[in-house]
Amino acid sequence: MAEKFDMPTTYDPHAVEGKWYKYWEDEKFFRSTVDPDKKPFCIVIPPPNVTGQLHMGHALDNTLQDILIRWRRMQGYNALWLPGTDHAGIATQAKVEEQLRNEGLSKYDVGREKFLERVWEWKEQYGGRITTQLRRLGASCDWDRERFTMDEGCSEAVLEVFIRLYEQGLIYRDYYITNWCPHCQTTISDIEVEHKDKPGQLYYIKYPVKDSPGEFITVATTRPETMLGDTAVAVHPEDDRYRHLVGKTVVLPLVEREIPIIPDEYVDPEFGTGAVKITPAHDPNDFEVGRRHDLPSVQVIDKEAKMTREAGQKYLGLDRWECRKRIVKDLQAKGLLIKIDDLSHAVGHCYRCSSVIEPMLSKQWFVRMKPLAEPAIAAAREGRVRFVPERFTKVYLNWMENIRDWCISRQLWWGHRIPVYYCRDCAEAIASKTQPEKCGKCGSTHFEQDPDVLDTWFSSGLWPFSTLGWPRKTLDLAYYYPTSVLVTGRDIIFFWVARMIFDGLAFMDEVPFKDVFIHGLVLDALGRKMSKSLGNGVDPIDVIESHGADSLRFMLVTGNTPGNDLRFHFERLDGARNFANKIWNASRFALMNLQDYRPEAVPAPEQFTLADRWIMSRFQRAVKESTGYLEKYELGEAARILYEFTWNELCDWYIELVKPRLYGKTSPADREVAQHVLAAVLRGALELLHPVMPFITEDIWQRLPHRGRTIMRAPWPVYKENQVDKAAEEQMEIIMEVIRGIRQIRSEMNVPPGKKAEALIVSGVEKIRKILTDNISYVESLANCKAEVLSVLGEKPEQAATAVAQDIQVFVPLRGLIDVDREIARLNKELQTLEKDLGRVQGKLKNSGFLAKAPAEVVEKERGKEAELTSKINAIKERLVMFGV
The CATH code of the domain that includes 704 is 1.10.730.10
* Residue 191 binned pLDDT confidence (cut-offs 50, 70, 90): low
Domain-embedded: residue 432: no
Counting Cα atoms < 13 Å in the Cβ hemisphere of 675 gives 24
DSSP characters over 659-712: HHHHTTSS-HHHHHHHHHHHHHHHHHHHHHHTTTSHHHHHHHHHHSS-SSS-GG
What is the SS3 assignment for 57? helix
- Interatomic CA distance for residues 123 and 503, integer angstroms: 27
Share of the chain above pLDDT 70, in %: 99
- Interatomic CA distance for residues 310 and 233, integer angstroms: 19
* Residue 2 binned pLDDT confidence (cut-offs 50, 70, 90): very low
- Interatomic CA distance for residues 175 and 79, integer angstroms: 47
- Interatomic CA distance for residues 860 and 866, integer angstroms: 10
Helix or strand (DSSP H, E) at 208 = strand 193-208
- 169-187 tens-digit pLDDT: 999 999 888 888 888 888 8
CB 453 within 8 A of CB 418: yes
Which residues, in sequence order, are CB contacts of 550 under 8 Å at separation 6+?
13, 17, 138, 576, 580, 692, 693, 694, 695, 696
* Residue 132 binned pLDDT confidence (cut-offs 50, 70, 90): very high
How many other C-beta atoms are found inside a 10 Å radius of the C-beta of residue 709? 12
- What is the pLDDT at residue 516? 97
Mean pLDDT estimate for the chain = 93
What is the SS3 assignment for 77? coil
Q: What is the spatial order of strands in the sheet that 420-423 belongs to?
A: 429-431, 420-423, 447-449
Number of domains the chain is built from: 5
- What is the pLDDT at residue 151? 96
Bridge partners (DSSP) listed for residue 235: 263, 275
Asked if residue 825 and residue 813 are part of one domain, the reply reads no
Asked if residue 384 and residue 276 are part of one domain, the reply reads no
Domain residues for the domain of 641 are 569-720
CA torsion 617→623→626→632, rounded to 10°? -120
Domain end call among 818, 845, 873: 818
Asked if residue 857 and residue 769 are part of one domain, the reply reads no
From residue 215, alpha-carbon distances to 10, 242, 272, 338 in Å are 88, 12, 19, 14
Asked if residue 306 and residue 193 are part of one domain, the reply reads yes
Residue 576, judged by CB atoms within 10 A of its CB (0-12, 13-18, 19+), counts as: buried
DSSP characters over 709-725: S-GGGSPPP---GGG--
Residue 614 pLDDT exceeds 70: yes
Domain-embedded: residue 476: yes
- What is the pLDDT at residue 657? 96
- What is the pLDDT at residue 535? 84
CB 695 within 8 A of CB 682: no
Domain-embedded: residue 531: yes
Asked if residue 850 and residue 751 are part of one domain, the reply reads no
- 37-85 tens-digit pLDDT: 999 999 999 999 998 888 999 999 999 999 999 999 999 999 999 999 9
CATH number at residue 234: 3.90.740.10
| Of the listed ranges 365-379, 520-534, 640-654, the one predicted with least confidence | 520-534
- What is the pLDDT at residue 450? 95
Domain-embedded: residue 111: no
- 333-349 tens-digit pLDDT: 999 999 999 888 888 88
Q: How far apart are the first and last CA of the chain?
A: 59
- Interatomic CA distance for residues 63 and 560, integer angstroms: 12
- What is the pLDDT at residue 820? 78
Q: What is the spatial order of strands in the sheet that 386-388 belongs to?
A: 386-388, 513-519, 483-489
Asked if residue 163 and residue 42 are part of one domain, the reply reads yes
CATH number at residue 41: 3.40.50.620
CB 695 within 8 A of CB 669: no
| Of the listed ranges 535-544, 679-688, 694-703, the one predicted with least confidence | 535-544
The amino acid present at 714, given as its one-letter code, is A
Residue list for the binding site for ATP = 532
- Interatomic CA distance for residues 703 and 718, integer angstroms: 22
Domain-embedded: residue 178: no
Domain end call among 491, 512, 547: 547
Asked if residue 376 and residue 354 are part of one domain, the reply reads no
Residue 533 pLDDT exceeds 80: no
The amino acid present at 109, given as its one-letter code, is D
- Interatomic CA distance for residues 303 and 320, integer angstroms: 11
Domain-embedded: residue 697: yes
CB 467 within 8 A of CB 46: no
- Interatomic CA distance for residues 50 and 808, integer angstroms: 65
- What is the pLDDT at residue 484? 98
CATH number at residue 842: 1.10.287
Asked if residue 704 and residue 625 are part of one domain, the reply reads yes
CB 142 within 8 A of CB 78: no
Q: For 151, which DSSP code?
A: S
Domain-embedded: residue 763: yes
- What is the pLDDT at residue 885? 67
Asked if residue 234 and residue 299 are part of one domain, the reply reads yes
- What is the pLDDT at residue 185? 85
Domain end call among 720, 753, 780: 720
- Interatomic CA distance for residues 466 and 86, integer angstroms: 13
How many other C-beta atoms are found inside a 10 Å radius of the C-beta of residue 549? 27
Q: 195 or 427, which is more confident? A: 427
Q: What is the mean pLDDT of residues 580-609?
A: 94
DSSP characters over 347-412: EEEETTT-PBPEEEEEEEEEE--HHHHHHHHHHHHTTSSEEESTHHHHHHHHHHHT--PEE-EES-
- b/e 8-40 (16+ beta carbons within 10 angstroms → b): eeebebeebbeebbeebbeeebbebeeeeeeeb
Asked if residue 691 and residue 674 are part of one domain, the reply reads yes
- Interatomic CA distance for residues 758 and 742, integer angstroms: 10
Nearest to 796 by CA among 783, 812, 772: 812
Q: What is the mean pLDDT of residues 6-26?
A: 96
| Of the listed ranges 11-15, 485-489, 743-747, the one predicted with least confidence | 743-747
> Phi first, then psi: what are they for 79, rounded to 5°?
-90, 125
DSSP characters over 593-646: T-TT--TT-PPPGGG--HHHHHHHHHHHHHHHHHHHHHHTT-HHHHHHHHHIII
- Interatomic CA distance for residues 794 and 796, integer angstroms: 6
From residue 753, alpha-carbon distances to 330, 638, 655, 816 in Å are 87, 35, 19, 14
* Residue 1 binned pLDDT confidence (cut-offs 50, 70, 90): very low
- 802-837 tens-digit pLDDT: 888 888 999 999 888 877 788 788 888 988 999 999
From residue 731, alpha-carbon distances to 578, 654, 775, 812 in Å are 30, 14, 10, 22
Rounded to the nearest 10 degrees, what angle do helices 726-748 and 776-783 cross at? 30
- Interatomic CA distance for residues 516 and 484, integer angstroms: 9
Residue list for the binding site = 532
> Phi first, then psi: what are they for 323, rounded to 5°?
-60, -40
From residue 233, alpha-carbon distances to 229, 236, 247, 494, 533 in Å are 12, 10, 10, 35, 41
**E strands, 474-596, where?**
483-489, 513-519, 522-523, 566-567
CATH number at residue 740: 3.30.2320
- 459-468 tens-digit pLDDT: 999 999 999 9
Domain-embedded: residue 7: no
From residue 78, alpha-carbon distances to 40, 145, 157, 439 in Å are 5, 15, 26, 50
Asked if residue 256 and residue 313 are part of one domain, the reply reads yes
Asked if residue 716 and residue 624 are part of one domain, the reply reads yes
- Interatomic CA distance for residues 228 and 484, integer angstroms: 55
